[in-house]
Structure 1
Amino acid sequence: MKLLTSPLFSLLFISGWNYVASFGVSDNSKSITTSSSSSSRRQILRSIVGSSLVASNILPTLPAQAEEEEFIQVYFGCGCFWHVMHEFVMAEKNILKRADLDLTSRAGYAGGLVPSEKVCYHNALNIGDYGKLGHAEVVSMSIPPSKFKDFAREYFLLFDAKGNRPDQNGDRGPEYRNLVGIPGGSKSPLAQELIEASKATGDKLDFAIGKGNDKELRAVSFIMDSDKFPFYVAEQYHQFHDGFNLNENYPNSYNSLASKLAKEGKLEQSACPNGLIGVGVLGL
């Protein structure tokens, strides 16, 4: 068994609970071997969430009916956001039965610490480069809290049995790290639902509390407080884009949704250059 460790990693024993873990993962993170045969890395890391809920005494009950709920904005990161966005658009259609003009999934950026008025894709003008600001590529959506677990399941289905993301051997670095943003972060009841969804889909990932500007770790997803680490919508040319891999060319009915939503005034506008040099065609 192995535990993720860093200078910020601490374990405390509390009566009635096994371990309470609170940690941040820094660039010099290492793995150490533990002699305990009764606990696993996942069990200890997951206790972060449970302990946060107990410590803050925040244990609200989520509404049972989607139609009676106020929507929440959440985001998921798992490598390149193109393929991830397609999967969550399909989830919105299948789970929430949303029509094209009601879709809320958007590609964008989140998880950075460096303040900036603009958060942009890499561009020749060097304006608000998301990577330099510590952000990762994510996909955001507005959903009923009672459906969060369903969307979390879709997220975990993106990973293979070993916890690798689809582009694990392609895109690399902190810009492509795994993260999930929910209001309240680990102190939210949604965090426990995230853990349960992970278990129900193969128990592939470990979890860490995101501190911002986190490093990329294979088979680890950072739980972010979306109130502290908000979502920044990406440029229009990234919305409803074909996937990263060669077999991820989506139909025009999907690709055209960006212009369709924009025409109806339902696509949030980025203040960034729409392409490498701002042309907005073929990534330029």
Structure 2
Amino acid sequence: MRTAVLIPLALSALLSPGGAGAYAPHRTNPPSSSSSSSSLRETGPGGRRAFLASAAAASLASLGVAAPAPANAADSNLQDVYFGVGCFWHIQHEFVLAERNLLGRSDKELTSRTGYAGGTKTGDGGKVCYHNLQFVADYGKLGHGEVVGMTIPESSIGDFAKEYFSYFAPNGERVDPGDRGGEYRSLIGLPGGTSHPEYSKVEEAASAKGMRLEPGKGNDPDTFGKKLVYVYDTAKYPFYQGEVYHQFHNDFQSPPYGKAYNKLADMAFDDGRLGVTGCPDRV
């Protein structure tokens, strides 16, 4: 349960020199999803590898030597996906570990971001925001659920699906049953949804956990007690980045993750991997 988050935000707004109005973010319009995805691709390891491969090929060509074919061409096919199950604070931490362990990414290459997806509506200016005292684009009222979005190789989707289903409790339920409602439903977002080329691997991971998958229709209800995960097409149900104060946050299920982890939010904001959303926030 995270209603306590609103208290420090409210105090921050009321104690600011300009009162509640001074709590408004620097920019009123959130960054477009296309610019956000582009920045992730440019900073991710796939972009770096693609650049190095291109440079190497050019050098070899000048010497009359054919460049070797990549070991796995799919590794350079980076795709934006998202996963959600309950509170996104804990899930982001787990996917940060997955990016490090499965993809060998450094702190500056991490793409996992908390956010919202699965709804059919947005607020003014395309905003989707956490519950706030200004009643701006409340994600719950707009039909969205909490998710963690990331940019990963298409060939790794099966591995990340296995990771995702390992985050459920042994009985197939989310580990924070105290949070109830459609905001905390279990959901996955893939390009093309259930038509994605790697979808069979997601099905295998779900089956191994005793879970079933169902195409999401938008604004779907809670999945608690159903062993169900909704699958969305990211083109129709895109990811909306969450506020900066929700990024790399400690959760209520585990000991604090440490200041080094928490400071990843500032690092990602400074280098452009996180943007201003237009929602009430600390930036």
CA distance in 1, matches of 2:77, 2:223: 34
Report the residue type matching 2:161 in the other structure. A
**Please, which of 251, 263, 272 is the counterpart of residue 270 of structure 2?**
263
Q: Is the contact made by 1:110 and 1:230 (CA closer than 8 Å) also made in structure 2?
A: yes
Q: After superposition, give the CA deviation of every residue in 1:247-268 in whole Å (9 maximum; x if it has no partner).
A: 2410111111001121223322
Report the residue type matching 1:127 in the other structure. V
Q: Is the contact made by 1:235 and 1:270 (CA closer than 8 Å) also made in structure 2?
A: yes
Aligned residue number for residue 241 of structure 1: 249
How many angstroms does 1:217 deviate by?
1.8
Q: After superposition, give the CA deviation of every residue in 1:55-80 in whole Å (9 maximum; x if it has no partner).
A: xxxxxxxx972675220000001000
- Aligned Cα root-mean-square deviation (Å): 1.7
CA distance in 1, matches of 2:73, 2:234: 21
**Please, which of 145, 156, 161 is the counterpart of residue 152 of structure 1?**
161
Report the residue type matching 1:268 in the other structure. G
- Gap runs ≥5 in structure 2: 1-69
Taking structure 1 as reference, are residues 166 and 96 closer, same or farther at Cα in structure 2, changes over 3 Å only? same
Structure showing the higher helix proportion among its residues: 2
Aligned residue number for residue 212 of structure 2: 206
Structure showing the higher strand proportion among its residues: 1
CA distance in 2, matches of 1:164, 1:99: 31
Written as runs of structure 1 = structure 2, the 5 A alignment for 1:216-227 is 216-218=222-224, 219-227=227-235
Aligned-pair identity (%): 49
Report the residue type matching 2:164 in the other structure. Y
Give the total of aligned pairs.
Answer: 210
Q: Is the contact made by 2:206 and 2:213 (CA closer than 8 Å) also made in structure 1?
A: no
Tell me whether 157-166 or 137-146 shows the greater mean CA deviation: 157-166
**Please, which of 113, 118, 134 is the counterpart of residue 106 of structure 1?**
113
CA distance in 2, matches of 1:251, 1:66: 37
TM-score between the two structures when normalised by the length of structure 2:
0.71
CA distance in 2, matches of 1:260, 1:179: 28
Report the residue type matching 2:261 in the other structure. Y
Aligned residue number for residue 57 of structure 1: none
2:230 counterpart SS class: strand
